[in-house]
A and B are shown apart, each in its own frame.
Chain A
Amino acid sequence: MNWVAIGTINDIPLRGARCVKTPQGKIGVFRTAENEVYAIEDHCPHKGGPLTQGIVHGASVTCPLHNWVISLETGKALGADEGAVRTIPIRNIDGQLSIALESILVAAE
């Protein structure tokens, strides 16, 4: 797996998110109250809302457009809604964050 450095955990507010731009669209990187980090597509399965702009609670985020709640762990919509976004492998080594962008890098090489 190709790990690409994206910054440190302190770049993201607690219970917050930042987005990372990639050739395949934006990826949301989330930091929970427990200091866990997750990466998912920054694109709500409902109407494409930017999930990084939502409120982060537990290990989920509420989309700012229509309040869908997306699990950061599975990428799946929680509750009655159905849909999912891609999850992206993320690694946290001593606060240094990297995401795995295998397919993207292969395409670029």
Chain B
Amino acid sequence: MAEKLVIIGNGMAPGRMLEELFERAPGLYDVTIFNAEPRVNYDRIMLSPVLSGEKAYEDIVIHDDAWYAAHGVTLHKGAKVTEIDRQAKTVTSANGITVSYDKLVIATGSLPFIIPVPGHQLPGVLAYRDLDDVEKMLEIAKGKGRAIVIGAGLLGLEAAYGMKRQGMEVTVIHLMPTIMERQLDPAAAYLLEKALAERGIEIITKANTKQILGSNRVEGIELEDGRVISGDMVIMAVGIRPASQLAKDAGLAVNRGIVVDDSMMTSDASIYSLGECAEHRGVCYGLVAPLYESARVLADRLIGGNAEYQGSVVNTKLKVTGINLFSAGDFAEAPDREEIVLRDASAGVYKRLVLKDNRIIGAVLYGETSDGSWFFDLLKKQTDISAMRETLIFGQSYQGGSQLDPMAAVAALPDDAEICGCNGVCKGKITGAITGKGLTTLDGVRAHTKASASCGNCTGLVEQLMSLTLGDAYNPAAVTPMCTCTELGHDDVRRLIKAKGLKTIPAVMQELEWKTSCGCAKCRPALNYYLVSDWPDEYADDYQSRFINERVHANIQKDGTYSVVPRMWGGVTNSSELRAIADVVDKFEIPMVKVTGGQRIDLLGIEKEDLPAVWADLGKAGFVSGQAYAKGLRTVKTCVGSDWCRFGTQDSTGLGIRLEKFMWGSWTPAKLKLAVSGCPRNCAEATCKDIGVICVDSGFEIHFAGAAGLDIKGTDILGQVKTEDEALEHIVALTQMYREQGRYLERIYKWAKRIGHDEIRRQIMEDHDKRRAYYERFVFSQKFAQVDPWSERVSGKDKHEFKPMATVGFSAAAE
């Protein structure tokens, strides 16, 4: 007859042990399990995804009822064992079941540690250990409100994330200065804290809980420093202690946990202990990997083998969607240790390996953790890494020069391989300049070699070359991020939008791993522009990502009123237009009428609610929006030219009007102002404009990159052309090049300085195919851009923008 094996506890460790046992020696034992919880064996590690709603209980069941039946296991659910009689070799449960054993396994797991502060027994104070806890949390989360989590360890943070996902506000209180201090060094903890903060989880470190507030249930907590945080539940995640009381009562040797030897045997030769309740060589483990290792040892012993458990090195991964984090071993600093650190701020990556005697003893990976298991393997096997030390941090795929790894691929390129196609720069020239001139920034490399200074497609390659050449001295953080929502700079974002074919703002944020849920007031308008510019026919303009002026097609003023500038092509108007403007001014009692620097009439002080009516009246007189509010084509200023002026050489007015009619409606990175002067006397002040034309007898001199605002700068000459048609094509091509490469809010003179005036001249004046392609892309984009926004709104579009939602609270008598 089979021996009787009784197991107290039905967690993951005994579950794994039984699997091993049944596989190797089916039928050897007659197995009885007592489970204090009223259910089967489930994957406790996956409680966090259940809490966050990403998984359901059914998804995390390891052994269902059928499994127990198939192996002839008697499972007593909801039966908590209260007594072990070692003399009689029986166990008895609280609900009166007594079973005798030949071999007994105590796997009672652990109990959450509840800090005994005042108020800790109030309803709403929860631990986070089992499915019952999760169900209670989800119940409270239905009412929204705030969850306070005490303890920013692995469990605490996963609980916090779960509660946030359930729609609660979340505050995490942590006693230590950095979070997850047992698994993370301060640098990785900082990145994690930042990432969690961006997910809306508030973290307060160095905070000690004084008491939990509330009369009938939790209403908040008070910290030692007097701060009070209100909340609807308190989750204690400050640690666990082995559930060893039962063993203690039975007279077994117990320290912190139930003491076991290398065969997992307790001080009683018939009794073993497994899991979080056991203490092996002074260590109580709380993670699954070591428990599984010891479970295999115990299974072997029960079969009669002589396996020995040697203790485990543990590693940790955090289960918060979108955060990649891995830590293993010992990463404290010490004199006999060395470290290898890789930081890639633009990719949000931090990797640190701690070495001792050429062996890895600790690893912390943040952002990019795919090599975690490889490092962990090297750590566990205590592999001598001196042969691959130089490249170790780059990970497994880099070893042996595998071509799959981009860094290795770049490293393997010969010196004469071309890196920058635009400017014909080869690898040797770039690496030579980096070492020869001591360059450490991408901008430096661009300035000296022109590599990646044009279209920017090779920026990644150039950066890899810099990493290879400079090692840790190269810090890609020199790229200024677009905003705090991302580590990527504008150029990287633009390149990736094209390369990955990203066509919506959510797609950009998802694929480029935005750190905020829906961006901020800096990145959203920029992304909206990039998408409008790159996918004119496919992208649906997101008005909520536009600055108010572009949303309501007028300019907001300091008092919240708006100014309206009707378009006057080339600055030319007539009596009927002026009369219509005068009528509008009278009808709407517009307080201020002003002539602008761009030869337009500005109507100031209009209430937002009046805007559609004002536009309706202006529209009847033939006016369209002057787009004086747009990051786009604003005005083309002209002089009267050869039609009137005795010095005029060409029809500057006519060219100005033609340019404006061709280019109106186009969006650009920043505002774009043009001017056309009929002779070098330059009455239209074309030489301080974004793009200007000076007419001469022999044709048209095209100027660009002027400024007369924060900076004052005369234009540079792009080149000279003979006909009006050519002038138009060159100016349009230049505009399109700027549209495709400029960073949002970067005026044309700043863009040109960055790209290089010579490069722009080369592409627009010399490369006919390129110019033609730019021109045609602009023309295509205009098909979708030239819609008068005023008439659209007069006919009812975006009505909600111009009316209050409601008017309330005024008493009937007053009306």
Residues of chain A whose beta carbon lies under 8 Å from any beta carbon of chain B: 4-7, 11-16, 18-24, 26, 29, 32-34, 47-50, 53-59, 62, 64-65, 67, 69, 73, 99, 101, 104-105, 108-109
Contact = CB atoms under 8 A, between A and B. Distances in A.
Interface of B: 169, 200, 516-521, 524-525, 543-549, 551-552, 556, 558-560, 800, 804-811, 814
A16 to B, nearest CB: 5
Contacts of A104: 809
B349 to A, nearest CB: 25
A59 B517 CA distance: 10
Contacts of A62: 520-521
A11 B800 contact: yes
B556 A4 contact: no
Nearest to A29: B805
Main secondary structure of the interface of B (DSSP, over half): loop
A54 to B, nearest CB: 7
Contact of B521 (A29, A67, A99): A67
B809 A105 contact: yes
Contacts of B524: 55, 57
Given A24-B809, A53-B548, A108-B811, A19 B804 contact: yes
Contacts of A108: 809-811, 814
B808 A4 contact: yes
A64 B556 contact: yes
Given A54-B521, A57-B521, 9 more contacts: A4-B808, A15-B544, A29-B805, A49-B560, A50-B560, A55-B525, A57-B516, A108-B814, A109-B811
A67 to B, nearest CB: 7
20 contacts: A11-B805, A18-B800, A18-B804, A20-B807, A20-B808, A21-B806, A21-B807, A23-B810, A24-B809, A26-B804, A32-B518, A34-B517, A53-B560, A55-B521, A55-B544, A55-B547, A57-B516, A57-B520, A57-B524, A58-B200
A55 B543 CA distance: 10
Greatest chain A CB density within 10 A among B521, B524, B551 is at B521
Contact of B805 (A6, A24, A49, A69): A6
A29 B804 CA distance: 10
A93 B543 CA distance: 27
Contacts of A18: 800, 804-805
A23 B805 contact: no
Nearest to A105: B809
Nearest to A65: B558
A15 B521 contact: no
B518 A6 contact: no
Contacts of A53: 548, 551-552, 556, 560
Contacts of B544: 13-16, 55-56
Contacts of A11: 800, 805
Nearest to A31: B544
A22 B518 contact: no
A21 B521 contact: no
4 cross-chain pairs, A with B, having the tightest CB-CB distances, nearest first:
A62-B521, A108-B811, A18-B805, A6-B806
Contacts of B200: 58-59
Contacts, number: 104
Nearest to A21: B807
B547 A58 contact: no
A54 B551 CA distance: 10
Nearest to A64: B548
For B548, B559, B800, B810, the residue with the greatest tally of chain A CB atoms inside 10 Å of its CB is B548
A7 B806 contact: yes
Nearest to A50: B560
Contacts of A16: 544
Contacts of A109: 811
Given A14-B544, A55-B524, A57-B520, A22 B808 contact: yes
A85 B200 CA distance: 21
Nearest to A63: B521
B805 A7 contact: yes
Contact of A58 (B517, B560, B800): B517
Given A4-B809, A53-B556, A55-B547, A15 B518 contact: yes
Contacts of B518: 15, 32-33, 57-58
Given A15-B544, A64-B547, A64-B548, A69 B521 contact: yes
Contacts of B546: 55
A50 B608 CA distance: 11
Contacts of A23: 809-810
B805 A20 contact: yes
Contacts of B547: 55, 64
Contacts of A15: 518, 544-545
B804 A21 contact: yes
Contacts of A5: 806
B194 to A, nearest CB: 15
A108 to B, nearest CB: 3
Contacts of B543: 13
A19 B805 contact: yes
B807 to A, nearest CB: 4
A109 B812 CA distance: 9
B141 to A, nearest CB: 15
B756 to A, nearest CB: 32
A49 B548 CA distance: 12
A15 B509 CA distance: 16
B470 to A, nearest CB: 34
Give the one of A13, A23, A55, A62 with max B CB within 10 A: A55
A56 B520 CA distance: 8
A59 B170 CA distance: 14
B606 to A, nearest CB: 14
Contacts of B558: 47, 65
A13 B797 CA distance: 13
Nearest to A11: B805
Contacts of B551: 53
B551 to A, nearest CB: 8
B556 A101 contact: no
Nearest to A61: B521
Given A54-B548, A55-B547, A22 B521 contact: no
B525 A20 contact: no
A65 B521 contact: no
A49 B558 CA distance: 7
Contacts of B806: 5-7, 20-21
A29 B805 CA distance: 9
A92 to B, nearest CB: 11
Nearest to A108: B811
A40 to B, nearest CB: 14
B808 A101 contact: yes
A74 to B, nearest CB: 11
Nearest to A101: B809
A12 B805 contact: yes
B19 to A, nearest CB: 43
Contact of B808 (A6, A13, A49): A6
A15 B525 CA distance: 13
| Residue of B520, B559, B800, B809 with highest tally of chain A CB at under 10 A | B809
A57 B505 CA distance: 13
Nearest to B518: A33
A53 B271 CA distance: 72
Given A50-B560, A108-B810, A55 B805 contact: no
A64 B806 CA distance: 22
Given A15-B544, A18-B800, A57 B519 contact: yes
A97 B546 CA distance: 26
B261 to A, nearest CB: 54
Nearest to A4: B808
A109 B814 CA distance: 11
Most buried by A among B800, B804, B811: B804
